[in-house]
Amino acid sequence: MLYIKCPWCGYRDDAEFHYGGEAHIKRPFDADSLSDEEFSEYLFQKSNTKGLTLERWVHTSGCRRWFNVLRNTVTNEIIEVYPSNQLPSSQAGKEYYKNNWRRKSAAESLTTRQVEK
């Protein structure tokens, strides 16, 4: 049983929430320029780490808002809860985000290129 702190409602039973998969998967703007392999990497490959992971949750039975969570999948410890349009602010969260393979994926480098233009 998880005890999750919704950013709006505070601590609630995990039965009130739904899991929304890995956080920070950026949709490539120009998906046509990706190869099938690169696109499938963006769409299907999930991190599924043993240890820290950044994930999305929604408070289904409560305020119905989405937010992000830094959780340890081994201990179920929730280290950080933060808004879905932001990056983690804890040291562990920042490192996990930075070192995630996705940051170097073709889909994401394309997103960054597009934003920089």
Partner 1 sequence: MDDAALPKQKDSGTSPLDKLIKVPGGAKDAGIFLKECRHSGKLILRGDPSDDLFIKSTSKVLGYKLPLTPNTFLKNSEYTSVWLGPNEWLVNSLPGDDSSLENDLNIALTDVHHSVTNVSDNSTIIQLSGPNARSVIMKGCAVDVHPRVFNPGDAFQSNLAAASVIMWQLNLIPTFNIMVRASFASYLWKWLLDAGAEFGVQIRL
Please give the residue ranges that form the binding site for partner 1 (CB under 8 A): 8-10, 12-13, 15-16, 61-65
Residue number, 67 or 96, with CB nearest to Zn ion: 67
Choose the binding region for Zn ion from 3-11, 69-77, 84-92, 99-107 (rule: CB under 5 A): 3-11
Q: What b/e readout covers 7-37, taking b as 16+ CB neighbours within 10 angstroms?
A: eeeeebeeeebeeeebbbbbebeeeeebeee
Rounded CA gap, 55 and 43, in Å? 16
Q: Which of 23, 24, 54, 59 binds Zn ion (CB under 5 A)?
A: 59
Place of tokens 């280290």: 79
Residue 54 C-beta: closest distance to partner 1, Å? 22
